[in-house]
Structure 1
Amino acid sequence: MATVQELRERLRRPLAAELAGGCQNRVVAGGVEKLLSSPLANPFPMVRERLAGYADWDESERAEALQDALKLLGDKEKPKATATRSARTAPPTAEPGERLPPDAPVAQLDTGPGGTRKLSSLGLHNLRDVLHAYPHRHEDRRALPDLANVEEGQKVTVEGVVVNKHRRTPKPNMLIIEITLETPSGGRVKASWFNQPWVERQLREGARLILTGRVKKFGNRVQLSVEHIEKMEVAQDSLSTGRIVGVYDSKDGISQEFLRKAAFKALQAVPLDDYLPAHWRKQRGVTDLADALWGIHFPRDEGHLSRANHRLRFDEYLFLELRMLLQGDDAVLQGKRFQASGDDISRFEAALPFRFTNAQRRVLLEITDDMRSDRQMARLVQGDVGSGKTAVAACALYLAVRDGYQGALMAPTEILARQHYKNLVGYLGQLDVRVGLLIGAMTPRQKLEMQTRIAEGDVDVVVGTQALIQENVQWGNLGLAVVDEEHRFGVQQRRKLLQSRPDVLVMSATPIPRSLALTAYGDLELSIIDELPPGRTPIETKLIQDNYRTQAYGFVMKQIREGRQAYVVTSLIEENENLELLAATQLADDLKVILPEARIDLLHGKMSAAEKDHVMERFRRQEFDILVSTTVIEVGVDVPNATVMVIENAERFGLSQLHQLRGRVGRGSAQSYCVLIAGEHSQKTRKRLKIIEGSTDGFVIAEADLKLRGPGELRGTRQSGIPDLRLADLANDTEIIEQARELAKHILANDPKLEHPRLQYLRSELQNRSQSVAFREVI
């Protein structure tokens, strides 16, 4: 039988080998904890306790624990960890005070054992990644709260020393760990964790901790339900206490102290050369880059943090605008130069059955200024449903035709193309403008005939779908291209239309806030028609709970008996077309039982474009009364006889999408209605849906949607190519965006390819911030 001394040596050897091998937990099959569960470790309970939880630790924690365990086993000489294979091939770490370029790998930053792996696991591969991994929030730890004055439910951060610890298992599968933390002022706070055994290793008596959590008060006793824990190392006190402290995005096993230390070392190592010249910074009122980066990671005070935040937000927008403006050659193309005379505008308006609104006149003035310029027009016209965008576009097309050019209007679907064709014939036909139609549903002979007329200049304005940008369409003299609902097209599709360098006018009936429009459509100038023609009857909107559904459909039936039609839209939380189709089919079947008199049909995402067009055309011809649909109802389709829009489970839609759906009715002269049926009855849901019940202004609704949901979820923005903005606040940053856009345009107007030597840092930073290799090749 082995002696204790022999067991000690048999345990010591693998633990020493584990430490020397870089603490990879591979010393024996099953790892260190498997080794410690064997009889070999029975005589050494303190070693077992010190290494409990080893598999969950990072390399630095493992190394420290192994050294402690080896001392407990009587190892007099502290073993040195040898480099692993990967460490031997890594770049050498920088000497203290050595300067490193921003693109230096994080392995050159001395962040301790396992530091490179930790940073890489967070997507931080070089020093500029570390510099721009900003804290997601900041805590003021300059004067931590007096525990006697905190209120029930308040979220606080406290620091102190663990003076005792208890662990309880009041029932199977429940672990409660409680500690008492003594603060520097002598106060004591109880802190607890439920079913979180992995935190226990940080809770040894004497450990110095920083805890954040919600306060519970029991008389004079304060208890903290902990949400966040930091172990306060003596060497890092200045980075984690007594200051405004950044809190970073992280993951298990990567501490806040480690990330602060990495940011601090990166700021010390990298020369923070500013890519914005001093005179531009002064004009825009922004601080220098070094001040901003130090201020976002380690602010001296609130003012320092504020100006850092402002500068770095400005930079995010500046590089976004530069990228948008530089993508594709169309950013610097010469366009057509039109006369766009006031007499021609007056002649067009005189032929209309109405007068332009002031908003339409303002936008038309912006368009004609562009048309008279040598530079190619690239302008977005936004306007709510019924604001008169098509009439403005028709006037621009008329001005192009008067100068001997052709015009094109491209719509995303054939049914919308036919609708635009009908409208343009009405606007332009009496002014001797020849309007043609080119869509996929035409016969080969009809297409060939129209293509021939286009090539020979025998037609002035052509309305169509993507067929307009097919290779076999040759334009005689294309001067102006109007693109409706641009977000439905890919960027490359739009650029194909630009090859003959026409002026470009983009129309969108999807109101989005100005700040979002300036970023989503950064390569386009922005015009907004924010006024509806007089005499339009507002759509009445009513929010009801789902237990009043029967009354809602009774109202729908009343409208049908009066000769009207209705939409009913359904949605699921899951983005699953099969489930959505099932829900829509079930709803249609239910309505046939509830409303046996009504003629009901179905529209869903599984249908082909031709099938959807056929259903919509039948609905427009009043061949049935109720159209049950998923969210694929085409934007902009006119069914003047439809006066009711019922939206089931309205809480599952964003406000902007609800407003778009509501816009499918109110296209005729009759009073129209929108009924929102909410399946969820919380105060928060009702408050949100009340916004759309109380407003018909799409821009007001879009602003509210942006503030409630953020830019990432708003319809169309993900397709726009907007990158994740780390600091930007699109709901409140319109002024900063406009300043950044103005500077971006100024820079490119004077140096379209950023070739001047003084812009080398700016160019380099832009390339680094642009993930697309194809875009990097543009500059």
Structure 2
Amino acid sequence: MATVQELQERLRRPLAAELAGGCQNRVVAGGVEKLLASPLAGPFPKVREALAGYGTLDPAARAEALTAALCLLSADPRATPAARTPRAAARTAPPPAKDGERLPLDAEVTRLDSGPGGARKLSTLGLHTVRDVLHAYPHRHEDRRALPDLSEVEEGQKVTVEGRVVSKHRRAPRPGMQILEVVLETPSGGRVKATWFNQPWVEKQLREGARLVLTGRVKKFGRSVQLGVEHLETVDGAQDSLSTGRIVGVYDSKEGISQEFLRKAAFRALQAAPLDDYLPAHWRRQYGVTDLSDALWGIHFPADEAQLSRASHRLRFDEYLFLELRMLLQGEDAVLQGKRFEARGDDIHTFEAALPFRFTNAQRRVLLEITDDMRSDRQMARLVQGDVGSGKTAVAACALYLAVRDAYQGALMAPTEILARQHYANLCGYLGGLDVRVGLLIGAMTPKAKMEMQTRIAEGDVDVVVGTQALIQENVQWSNLGLAVVDEEHRFGVGQRRKLLASRPDVLVMSATPIPRSLALTAYGDLELSIIDELPPGRTPIETKLIQDTHRQQAYGFVMKQIREGRQAFVVTALIEENENLELLAATQLAGDLRVILPEARIDLLHGKMSAAEKDEVMERFRRHEFDVLVSTTVIEVGVDVPNATVMVIENAERFGLAQLHQLRGRVGRGSAQSYCVLIAGEHSKKTRQRLKIIEGSTDGFVIAEADLKLRGPGELRGTRQSGIPDLRLADLANDTAIIEQARELAKHILAHDPRLEHPRLQYLRAELQNRSQSVAYREVI
């Protein structure tokens, strides 16, 4: 039973994270009010009272309420409401810093003297401390050192110009339309007409004589030039040097908060803050990064392109370094004592000799990396990536065999029962002739069969157990678990995985989803990475064809031809919005259409409203060839083998990412017959065709994943929101592989020599890590 003090601290941390994160009501799943309704807040009625109606408050009111609640929690939790009320808890803001006064990084933004209402404006952007302002980097930069001569720019070109307002005029050519026109005189003496459509609120900034910086698209009418304004800045003498005549940062903002205001706040923060570097000089030299002061000044107010480049490189390096440190510390498995296996070469040869094929060079390389880990005293934590059919399971089976040879047990956990059965059949084939006892433990087994298997596991009467989450139930006791293999790990929660790892076995994670190396190193920062990048010889590549939806009839004519030859087909469609009711309707309608188009075919359906058991049963019936065409709007289970299925038709292919299309295509080609993938595009734009042509022209999952990353960004790999990967503000995962590897190398070096970051020279590094990890750590408390 937790003490009141423990509950108090567990409640305080997420509320502090909510305040630090800008009062967005997102730190806790379901919002702050969901947290207050939980048993955790039960002993603290005054806190619930202080935060009543939190979701309806504006950010400033939320900040005040949170401050009051945190004051209550920092006092005696049983204090009476009369002794400490939310109103009494509100505190007076500290005074602005004096000229030349240094401010700590955690000083409130009220101390920056950012003008009337300045602190409130910064707070609405989630900037509450000096540190927040320093790390709110511009999202782009404009070169305003030499603004263009408008007589030389082309029609439609986007430009930025500076000048003084000479005259202004408002007109309404028709009801409902208002046009503001301003004539601007540029420093070179030229004139440009600037226009705003239906934006009367900007008129107060357009007084004659005012200096403006305008960004917009050029329109030319003979010799006169007109600018359709997209962005306006007013410039006064005090801010000349921040907004003109230099490379200027442009910040994320909201209506009513100007760029000039944000630049002024950043400038004051840089002047006032102690920019002590948390990276010692010898590490900066080793990895070729500039010092922190140069980087922060360079990202906000670069003197030239070289400083901006140095700044971007250093701050990206830092983002990856702290991400890797946190991932390694979160996982902790990577630095724990593990099992030590002999992993003899003779045993590897014995295993391979029993296979009906030989390992590829890529499989041998990965197996060497795995056995090096197994022979070490430290716990193995390794991710094996490989495209569909690359032979990951055979490598995992060999590792399990080595563990069994050293008198340990092995486990293989799969996300679904159908996949668990498939792995069980494969492992029986690989290990059955090598005197290895393989067992299966899944939810669908009878209570008696489960109990018998659990008894065999506890008594060490079974060597390798394949299963689903049934493997991590409380009544499963291992005799001597040495190696745990987790298939498609991203589909398990962190808590589920750790239950299996309670006895500290070596851990091997398998994924058939090709991930660019840069993304794998961040999403799986707590795991070493091995890639099987070679397919076994003799595999027939899947033929892929991209067609427009106007040729659907031909595509299904081809499907019918394959069915008549005794083959089967998948048909998958996508929706623009995730909606289970619409999904069921779309799937049902598509199946109905196909029954008309393919009257001879037996057709069945897989949809999102089915339970996991129902989906497994449909897939099992399909595998037994009880019907010919499986229609689905959900992603077909990764790894499921239906060797007789030779055609994958993907409707509205443009709505899927390239990596997802490649995964769907991998559902066919599992047997010896030639297989095909037909992409039907409902959108015919040139951009769409260029993107889908990448899939049509390549079967290499890693090439496709790299292209997908560049086109779509990192997305939500490994459930990044759930695993605590923060937004990387400056990172460019498509091009940062080398920086990520350097940052990971340094993170591993630091933790190998000082696992708790306790050395005095690392005090700033430790503090920075705690600041960057704060909101993530608080999320995990709940």
Question: Is TM more than 0.5 here?
Answer: yes
The equivalent position to 1:411 in structure 2, one of 399, 414, 426, is 414
Structure 2 distance, partners of 1:93, 1:221, is: 48
Which secondary structure state, in structure 2, belongs to the residue aligned with residue 166 of structure 1? Answer: strand
Write out per-residue CA displacement over residues 643-702 of structure 1, whole angstroms, 9 at most, x where no aligned residue: 000111101000000000000000000010111111111011010000001000000000
The equivalent position to 2:632 in structure 1, one of 629, 635, 660, is 629
TM-aligned CA deviation for residue 113 of structure 1: 0.0
Q: Is the aligned partner of 1:400 residue 2:403?
A: yes
Q: Is the aligned partner of 1:218 residue 2:216?
A: no
Which secondary structure state, in structure 2, belongs to the residue aligned with residue 175 of structure 1? Answer: strand
TM-aligned CA deviation for residue 223 of structure 1: 1.1
Structure 1 distance, partners of 2:276, 2:321, is: 17
TM-aligned CA deviation for residue 166 of structure 1: 1.5
Structure 2 distance, partners of 1:632, 1:471, is: 31
Seen in structure 2, the aligned counterparts of structure 1 residues 602 and 389 have a Cα distance that, compared at 3 Å, is same
TM-aligned CA deviation for residue 715 of structure 1: 7.2
TM-aligned CA deviation for residue 331 of structure 1: 3.4
Could you tell me which residue of structure 1 aligns to residue 613 of structure 2? 610
Could you tell me which residue of structure 1 aligns to residue 486 of structure 2? 483
Letter in 1 for 2:555: A
Could you tell me which residue of structure 1 aligns to residue 596 of structure 2? 593
Gaps of 5+ in 2: 1-59, 61-87
Aligned residues: 695
Q: Is the aligned partner of 1:583 residue 2:586?
A: yes
Could you tell me which residue of structure 2 aligns to residue 233 of structure 1? 236
Could you tell me which residue of structure 2 aligns to residue 143 of structure 1? 146
TM-aligned CA deviation for residue 759 of structure 1: 0.8
Could you tell me which residue of structure 1 aligns to residue 106 of structure 2? 103
Structure 2 distance, partners of 1:718, 1:698, is: 24
Which secondary structure state, in structure 2, belongs to the residue aligned with residue 327 of structure 1? Answer: helix
Q: Is the aligned partner of 1:154 residue 2:163?
A: no
Could you tell me which residue of structure 2 aligns to residue 557 of structure 1? 560
Could you tell me which residue of structure 2 aligns to residue 734 of structure 1? 737
Could you tell me which residue of structure 2 aligns to residue 422 of structure 1? 425
TM-score by length of 2: 0.87
Which secondary structure state, in structure 1, belongs to the residue aligned with residue 105 of structure 2? Answer: coil
TM-aligned CA deviation for residue 632 of structure 1: 3.5
TM-aligned CA deviation for residue 772 of structure 1: 3.9
TM-aligned CA deviation for residue 155 of structure 1: 1.3
TM-aligned CA deviation for residue 332 of structure 1: 2.3
Could you tell me which residue of structure 2 aligns to residue 764 of structure 1? 767
TM-aligned CA deviation for residue 719 of structure 1: 4.4
Structure 2 distance, partners of 1:164, 1:646, is: 63
Give matches, 1:461-540, under 5 Å.
Answer: 461-540=464-543
The percent of aligned pairs where both chains have the same amino acid is 88
Give matches, 1:643-722, under 5 Å.
Answer: 643-712=646-715, 716-722=719-725
Write out per-residue CA displacement over residues 424-461 of structure 1, whole angstroms, 9 at most, x where no aligned residue: 00000001100000000000000000000000000000
Structure 2 distance, partners of 1:372, 1:261, is: 57
TM-aligned CA deviation for residue 176 of structure 1: 1.1
Letter in 2 for 1:292: A
Letter in 2 for 1:218: F
Structure 2 distance, partners of 1:621, 1:87, is: 69
Do 1:438 and 1:468's aligned partners in 2 also have CA atoms closer than 8 Å? yes
Letter in 2 for 1:737: I
Structure 1 distance, partners of 2:721, 2:226, is: 44
Structure 1 distance, partners of 2:215, 2:367, is: 57
Give matches, 1:324-363, under 5 Å.
Answer: 324-363=327-366
Do 1:605 and 1:632's aligned partners in 2 also have CA atoms closer than 8 Å? no
Write out per-residue CA displacement over residues 446-480 of structure 1, whole angstroms, 9 at most, x where no aligned residue: 00000000000000000000111111100000000
Structure 1 distance, partners of 2:100, 2:684, is: 60
Write out per-residue CA displacement over residues 613-664 of structure 1, whole angstroms, 9 at most, x where no aligned residue: 1100000000000000012411100000000001111010000000000000
Do 2:419 and 2:639's aligned partners in 1 also have CA atoms closer than 8 Å? yes
Could you tell me which residue of structure 2 aligns to residue 442 of structure 1? 445
TM-aligned CA deviation for residue 232 of structure 1: 0.6
Do 2:523 and 2:717's aligned partners in 1 also have CA atoms closer than 8 Å? no
Letter in 2 for 1:463: V
Which secondary structure state, in structure 2, belongs to the residue aligned with residue 185 of structure 1? Answer: coil
Seen in structure 2, the aligned counterparts of structure 1 residues 313 and 186 have a Cα distance that, compared at 3 Å, is same
Structure 1 distance, partners of 2:675, 2:720, is: 30
Could you tell me which residue of structure 1 aligns to residue 180 of structure 2? 177
Letter in 2 for 1:145: P
Seen in structure 2, the aligned counterparts of structure 1 residues 635 and 777 have a Cα distance that, compared at 3 Å, is closer
Could you tell me which residue of structure 2 aligns to residue 640 of structure 1? 643
Q: Is the aligned partner of 1:459 residue 2:455?
A: no
Which secondary structure state, in structure 1, belongs to the residue aligned with residue 646 of structure 2? Answer: strand
Could you tell me which residue of structure 1 aligns to residue 376 of structure 2? 373
The equivalent position to 2:277 in structure 1, one of 274, 277, 290, is 274
Give matches, 1:183-262, under 5 Å.
Answer: 183-262=186-265
Write out per-residue CA displacement over residues 306-337 of structure 1, whole angstroms, 9 at most, x where no aligned residue: 00000000000000000000014423210001
Structure 1 distance, partners of 2:399, 2:778, is: 32
Letter in 1 for 2:566: G
Do 2:334 and 2:527's aligned partners in 1 also have CA atoms closer than 8 Å? no
Seen in structure 2, the aligned counterparts of structure 1 residues 342 and 185 have a Cα distance that, compared at 3 Å, is same
Letter in 2 for 1:515: S
Structure 2 distance, partners of 1:335, 1:696, is: 38
Structure 2 distance, partners of 1:447, 1:713, is: 36
Structure 2 distance, partners of 1:237, 1:590, is: 66
TM-aligned CA deviation for residue 729 of structure 1: 0.1
Do 2:490 and 2:718's aligned partners in 1 also have CA atoms closer than 8 Å? no
Q: Determine which structure has more spread, i.e. the larger CA radius of gyration.
A: 1
Which secondary structure state, in structure 2, belongs to the residue aligned with residue 245 of structure 1? Answer: strand
Q: Is the aligned partner of 1:548 residue 2:548?
A: no
Structure 2 distance, partners of 1:686, 1:486, is: 33
Structure 1 distance, partners of 2:646, 2:397, is: 27
Could you tell me which residue of structure 1 aligns to residue 317 of structure 2? 314
TM-aligned CA deviation for residue 712 of structure 1: 2.3
Structure 1 distance, partners of 2:361, 2:244, is: 58
Could you tell me which residue of structure 1 aligns to residue 125 of structure 2? 122
Gaps of 5+ in 1: 1-57, 59-84
Q: Which runs of 4+ in 1 moved over 2 A?
A: 85-88, 712-721, 771-778
TM-aligned CA deviation for residue 749 of structure 1: 0.4
Which secondary structure state, in structure 2, belongs to the residue aligned with residue 164 of structure 1? Answer: strand
What's the RMSD between the two structures over aligned residues?
1.6
Letter in 1 for 2:302: P
Write out per-residue CA displacement over residues 99-155 of structure 1, whole angstroms, 9 at most, x where no aligned residue: 000000101110000000000000000010000000000000111111121111211
Letter in 1 for 2:422: Q
Letter in 1 for 2:225: V
TM-aligned CA deviation for residue 201 of structure 1: 1.2
Do 2:724 and 2:776's aligned partners in 1 also have CA atoms closer than 8 Å? no
Write out per-residue CA displacement over residues 487-536 of structure 1, whole angstroms, 9 at most, x where no aligned residue: 10111111111110100000000001000000000000000000000000
TM-aligned CA deviation for residue 204 of structure 1: 1.6
Q: Is the aligned partner of 1:290 residue 2:284?
A: no
